Amino acid sequence: MVSGDPNPPFLRTYKLLLDDRGPPPPPLPPSPPEKDAVINLPLIELSRLILEPEECKAEIRLAAAEWGFFQVVGHGVPPELLDRLRKVQANLFRQPFAEKEKGKLLDFAAGYCYTWGTPTATSLSQLSWSEAYHIPMTPSAAPTKLRARRVIDEYATRVAQLSYELAGILAEGFEGKEGRRNIDYMEEHCKPSSCYLRLNRYPPCPIPKGVFGLVPHTDTDFLTIVYQDQVGGLQLLKGGRWITVKPNSSALIVNIGDLFQAWSNDVYRSVRHRVMANSEIERFSIAFQLCPSYETIIHSKKSPSIYRSFTFMEYKQQIKEDVKLFGHKIGLSSQNHLLEELANASVSSARVFALLGLLPSRLLSRRLLAGGTSLMAKKMLDPGFLAGKQPKSFKDALSGSVESNDFLDFRISSNRGMPSLWFSEEEFLHLAKPFEFALVGKFPLKRPSLDFIRRFFFILKLSGEFSVTLLDQANILIKLANDLDYARVSAHRSYFVYGCFIKVIKWSPVLDLSEESPIVPVWLSFPRLYPHLFSSRILFGLGSIFGRPIHTDNATASGSRPSVARVLVEIDVTKSFPDSVWLGPEKLGYVQKVIFEGMPSFCLFCKSLGHKKMECPKLLSKSSSVVIPNALDNPLVPVSTEVPFISPGCGISAKLSDVALDRDVLDGEIIVNNIFADVEGVVLPDGDCRAASPDQAFVSPNAAVLNGVGVDVAREGDSVNARDVVPGAISSGLNLEVPQKCITVSNNLIEVPVNAVDTRFVGNSFGDSSGLDIRNHVNWLDSSEGDPGSESDGNDLLSPDFCGESDPGCDFTLVNVRPISFVGNRGRARGRDWAMMGWGSHHCTSLVETIAVVSFGTEQIQKIVQIHIAKCPDTDGISTDSGPLCLPSQTLTESHRIQAPYVSLCAHGTKTDVLIAPKQNSSDPEQNRYQISD
Ligand SMILES: O=C(O)CCC(=O)C(=O)O
Ligand SMILES: [Fe+2]
pLDDT tens, residue by residue, 713-772:
222 232 222 222 223 222 222 222 323 332 333 322 333 332 222 333 332 322 222 222
Instruction: Determine the distance separating the centroid of ligand 1 and the alpha carbon of 69, expressed in angstroms.
Output: 12
What confidence score (pLDDT) does residue 921 get? Answer: 34
Q: How far is CA 698 from the centre of its chain?
A: 30
Nearest-angstrom CA–CA distance, 60 and 166 = 8
Spatial distance between the Cα atoms of 176 and 664, rounded to a whole number of angstroms: 49
Going by C-alpha positions, the residue among 556, 550, 482, 486 that lies closest to residue 522 is 550
- Average pLDDT of the residues of the chain: 63
Q: Provide the greatest CA pair distance for the chain.
A: 101
Question: Considering only 380-384, 495-499, 538-542, 621-625, which range has the smallest mean pLDDT?
Answer: 621-625
Above 60 in pLDDT, residue 695?
no
Average pLDDT value for residue range 153-164: 92
ipTM over 0.95: yes
**Mean of pLDDT values over 842-858:** 25
CA–CA gap between residue 522 and residue 567 (Å, rounded): 8
So what's the pLDDT on residue 828?
A: 25
Segment 668-685 shows an average pLDDT of 27
Atom of ligand 1 nearest to the CA of 198: 9
Q: What distance in angstroms lies between residue 286's CA and the mean position of ligand 1's atoms?
A: 7
- Model-wide pTM > 0.90: no
- pLDDT at residue 413 in the model: 81
pLDDT of 403 reads 52
The atom number, within ligand 1, closest to the CA of 283 reads 1
- Chain-centre distance of CA 509, in angstroms? 31
Q: Is 928 helix (H, G, I), strand (E, B) or coil?
A: helix
Mean pLDDT calculated for residue range 400-411: 63
At 233, the pLDDT band (50, 70, 90 cuts) reads very high
User: Closest Cα partner for 202 from 112, 270, 271, 287?
Assistant: 287
CB atoms within 10 A of CB 248: 16
Mean pLDDT check: name the lowest of 53-67, 290-304, 309-323, 872-886.
872-886
Cβ < 6 A, ligand 1 pocket: 198, 200, 214, 219, 224, 226, 228, 234, 273, 275, 285, 287
Report whether pLDDT(897) > 80.
no
Segments in 27-78 forming alpha helices (H): 48-51, 53-66
Alpha carbon nearest to ligand 1 atom 6, residue: 287
Neighbours of 537 (CB within 10 A): 8
CA distance 754 to 726: 11
pLDDT band at 406 (very low <50, low <70, confident <90, very high): low
Residue 189 reports pLDDT greater than 60: yes
Nearest to 257 by CA among 312, 192, 176: 312
> With pLDDT > 70 as the criterion, what percentage of the chain qualifies?
53
Residue 206: C-alpha distances to residues 124, 203, 796 (Å) = 14, 9, 45
**d(CA 276, ligand 2 centre) in Å:** 12
Atom nearest to 224 CA in ligand 1: 10
Q: Report pLDDT for 392.
A: 63
272 Cα–ligand 2 center, Å: 8
Contact yes or no for 227/44 (Cβ under 8 A): no
What is the predicted pLDDT for the residue at 713? 29
Question: For residue 282, what pLDDT band results from cuts at 50, 70 and 90?
Answer: very high
SS (H, E, C) 609-630: ECCCHHHCHHHHCCCCCCCCCC
Active site residue 818: no
The bound ligand whose nearest atom lies closest to the alpha carbon of 286 is: 1
Radius of gyration of the chain (CA): 31
pLDDT number for residue 176:
52
pLDDT digits (tens, 9 = 90+) for 429-478: 888 888 989 999 988 888 888 888 887 887 777 888 889 998 888 899 99
Please calculate the CA angle 72-73-76 and round it to the nearest 5 degrees: 110
Q: Which residues 6+ apart lie within 8 Å of 145 measured at CB?
A: none
First to last CA, the chain: 59
- In this structure, the residue with its CA closest to atom 5 of ligand 1 is 287
**Half-sphere exposure in the Cβ direction for 570 (13 Å, CA):** 19
Atom of ligand 1 nearest to the CA of 274: 7
**Residue 639 predicted with pLDDT over 90:** no
Q: Cα 757 to chain center, whole Å? A: 25
Percentage, residues of the chain above pLDDT 90: 20
Average pLDDT over residues 602-623: 77
Most confident listed range (262-271, 644-653, 842-851):
262-271
Q: What is the pLDDT of residue 219?
A: 94
Please tell me whether residue 278 adopts helix, strand or coil conformation. Answer: coil
Give the pLDDT confidence score for residue 928 in this predicted structure: 34
Q: Of 98, 100, 319, which Cα lies nearest the Cα of 201? A: 100
Give exposure, 279-298, as e/b (b: 16+ Cβ within 10 Å).
eeebbbbbbbbbbbeeebeb
Cβ pair 280, 299 in contact under 8 A? no
Question: Which of 71, 135, 234, 288 for a ligand 1 pocket mutation test, highest count of atoms within 8 Å of Cβ?
Answer: 234
Distance 884 CA to ligand 1 centre (A): 34
CA-nearest residue for atom 1, ligand 1, is: 285
Q: Using alpha carbons, list the distances in angstroms from residue 623 to 294, 611, 619, 637, 709.
A: 69, 17, 7, 14, 15
Q: CA 634 to CA 654: how far, in whole Å?
A: 9
Smallest CA separation from ligand 1 atom 10, residue:
219
Give the Cα separation of 802 and 904 in Å (integer). 22
* pLDDT tens digits, one per residue of 902-924: 222 222 222 233 333 333 333 44
d(CA 233, CA 282): 11
- Residue 175, pLDDT score: 58
Q: What is the 3-state secondary structure (H, E, C) of 638-705?
A: CCCCCCCCECCCCCCCCEEECCECCHHHHCCCCCCCCCCCEEECCECCCCCCCCCCCCCCCCCHHHHH
Q: Using alpha carbons, select from 616, 618, 647, 619 the residue that is nearest to residue 633.
A: 647
Q: Which among 899, 894, 630, 646 has a CA at the least distance from the CA of 744? A: 630
For the chain, give percent helix, strand, coil, nearest 5: 30, 20, 50
What are residue 227's DSSP bridge partners? 286
Contact 312, 259 (CB under 8 A): yes
| CA–CA distances in Å: residue 76 to residues 258, 285, 335 | 26, 18, 36
What is the C-alpha separation between 160 and 195, in angstroms, rounded? 8
Long-range contacts of range 732-736, CB-CB < 8 Å, 24 or more positions apart?
732/757, 732/758, 732/761, 732/765, 732/830, 732/831, 732/834, 733/697, 733/830, 733/831, 734/758, 734/761, 736/651
Distances (CA, A) of 782 to 81, 308, 786, 807: 39, 28, 8, 10
Over residues 820-833, the mean pLDDT reads: 25
| Range with lowest mean pLDDT among 30-44, 93-107, 549-563 | 30-44
**DSSP string covering 801-849, please?**
HHHTSS-TTTT-------PPPP----SS--SHHHHHHHHHHHT-TT--E
| Ligand minimally distant from the alpha carbon of residue 213 | 1
CA distances to 395, 412, 413 from 422, in Å: 21, 6, 7
Confidence (pLDDT) at 776: 22
CA triplet 134, 140, 146: central angle to 5 degrees? Answer: 75
DSSP 557-615: HHT--TTEEEEEEEEETTS---SEEEES-TTT-EEEE-EEETPPPEETTTTEETS-GGG
Contacts of 925 (CB under 8 A, 6+ apart): 39, 40, 776, 915, 919
Q: Whose CA is nearest to atom 9 of ligand 1?
A: 287
Q: Which atom of ligand 1 is nearest to the CA of 202?
A: 1
What is the band of 109 on the pLDDT scale with cuts at 50, 70, 90? Answer: low
Say whether the peptide bond before residue 304 is cis (omega within 30 degrees of 0).
yes
Q: Spell out the SS3 assignment of 109-130.
A: CCCCEEEECCCCCCCHHHCECC
- Name the active-site residue from 84, 158, 269, 283: 283
- pLDDT confidence band for 511 (50 / 70 / 90): confident
- Counting Cβ atoms within 10 Å, is residue 386 exposed (0-12), middle (13-18) or buried (19+)? exposed
**Where does residue 263 rank: exposed (0-12), middle (13-18), buried (19+ CB within 10 A)?**
buried
Among all bound ligands, the one having the nearest atom to the CA of 115 is 1
C-alpha 294 to ligand 2 mean position (Å): 19
Q: Which of 273, 278, 283 to mutate to test the pocket of ligand 1 (most atoms within 8 A of CB)?
A: 273
Q: How far is the CA of 68 from the centre of ligand 2 (A)?
A: 12
pLDDT value at residue 388:
63
Sequence-distant (≥ 6) Cβ neighbours of residue 168 within 8 angstroms: 183, 186, 187
Q: What does DSSP assign to residue 472?
A: S
Q: In ligand 1, which atom is closest to the CA atom of 253?
A: 3
Ligand sitting nearest the alpha carbon of 133 = 1
C-alpha distance from residue 256 to each of 65, 290, 453, 845 (Å): 9, 10, 20, 39
Residue 901 pLDDT greater than 80, yes or no: no
Secondary structure in 3-state letters for 751-802: ECCHHHCCHHHHHHHHCCCCCCCCCCCHHHHCHHHCCHHHCCCCCCCCCHHH
